[in-house]
Amino acid sequence: MDQGLTRRVVLRDGTALTVAVLLAGPASTLGDIAIAVTPGEAAFLTDPELETLRGLVDRFIPGKPEDTDDGAVVAGCAEAIDALLGAFGVDPPLIYAGAPFSDRGGSTVNHFEDFLRLDSYEAMAWRLRIEGSKGQAKLEFNGPVPGFQTVYREGLAALDEAAGNRSFADVPGLGRDLILRSSDDPRIAELVDVAFLHTVELMYGAPEYGANRDLLGWEYTNYDGDVQPRGYTREQIEQLDPAGAREPSLEREPSTPMETLVAMAPLGFGEAAHGILAPAGGSLSALRSALAPIIERAEQRGRDGS
């Protein structure tokens, strides 16, 4: 792999191809957000499990020493995922941030910090999604549901097993990539299927949900974030964005290997990070399915030279 490439170069020149590679890969090789706990302290996971999770999210959105941007670990994505898993450990559960405004767009009060209470249906649905059905007949009318807690706990254990019964996080980055690409363990495949989208959603979501610390994700994608109630000026609305400001190019340097593109942040431009996840259904496999037609059209245009 070309170690001289920075994430900024890859995101500038390879974002669409990275998404294409992710879509094309088998599910075995490679949302849902909540506020972070105190850095270094686990809400649901044990400390060793949390460290393994950091090693995983680092491969989705890595920070590189030669780059000026920080990745998912520094942004707090692992802690935010862990807080989601323990969302019902506080009251109200840390599921839906308040409304209507944060204090980033001119409001004097940050309503996002006041999480909303769930009604009985919402609470049951989210408990099922996070904690699973746990053998309760009333929750298994469509069959048993493992829940995110089980998926993460079993998947993280599988990663450590694949690393030789040591922490997956202690394996060098390329070794972790190899484990993710070559493993046929269904526990790892299921973990990656949900953890990838959780990482992306949290990296680029509102910081009240726990990650995007210091607005790293928004700075990185040149995203304005929530601008209400100030909004935009007429000039900002009517004037065209600078050419290429928000659009990834299908062109890339010939020396950029596919493996490098996959290993680095795959959804690094604003529209992808903030809009393309909606139809994904909470999993990477669903995201692949949703984006496949878009990628195919883009690749066809490239082949046609249009």
On whether residue 290 sits in a domain, the answer given is no
Q: What pLDDT sits at residue 38? A: 47
**pLDDT 10s digits, 95-148:** 999 999 999 999 999 999 999 999 999 999 999 999 999 888 888 888 898 999
Residue 277 has pLDDT above 70, yes or no: no
On whether residue 200 sits in a domain, the answer given is yes
Q: What pLDDT sits at residue 233? A: 86
Q: What pLDDT sits at residue 279? A: 52
21: pLDDT confidence band, cut at 50, 70 and 90? Answer: very low
Q: What pLDDT sits at residue 39? A: 43
On whether residue 256 sits in a domain, the answer given is no
Using a pLDDT cut of 70, give the percent of the chain over it. Answer: 67
247: pLDDT confidence band, cut at 50, 70 and 90? Answer: very low
On whether residue 93 sits in a domain, the answer given is yes
Q: What is the mean pLDDT of the chain?
A: 76
Q: What pLDDT sits at residue 288? A: 72
On whether residue 268 sits in a domain, the answer given is no
Q: What pLDDT sits at residue 291? A: 67
Q: What pLDDT sits at residue 59? A: 93
**pLDDT 10s digits, 43-85:** 899 999 999 999 999 999 998 665 556 899 999 999 999 999 9
Q: What pLDDT sits at residue 139? A: 85
280 Cβ partners below 8 Å, 6+ apart?
A: 31, 197, 286, 287, 290
Average pLDDT, stretch 151-167? 96
Using a pLDDT cut of 90, give the percent of the chain over it. Answer: 50
On whether residue 21 sits in a domain, the answer given is no
Residue 29 has pLDDT above 50, yes or no: no
In terms of C-beta density within 10 A (0-12 exposed, 13-18 middle, 19 or more buried), how is residue 194 classed? buried
Q: What pLDDT sits at residue 66? A: 55
Nearest 5°: the CA angle 209, 288, 155 is 60
Residue 162 has pLDDT above 90, yes or no: yes
Q: Cα separation of 206 and 105, whole Å?
A: 13
Structural domain count, the chain: 1
Please tell me the pTM assigned to this model: 0.74
On whether residue 291 sits in a domain, the answer given is no
Q: What backbone phi and psi angles, to 5 degrees, belong to 186?
A: -65, -25
Q: What pLDDT sits at residue 235? A: 86
On whether residue 257 sits in a domain, the answer given is no
Q: Cα separation of 165 and 55, whole Å?
A: 15
Q: Cα separation of 33 and 120, whole Å?
A: 19
Q: What is the extent of the structural domain holding 71?
A: 28-248
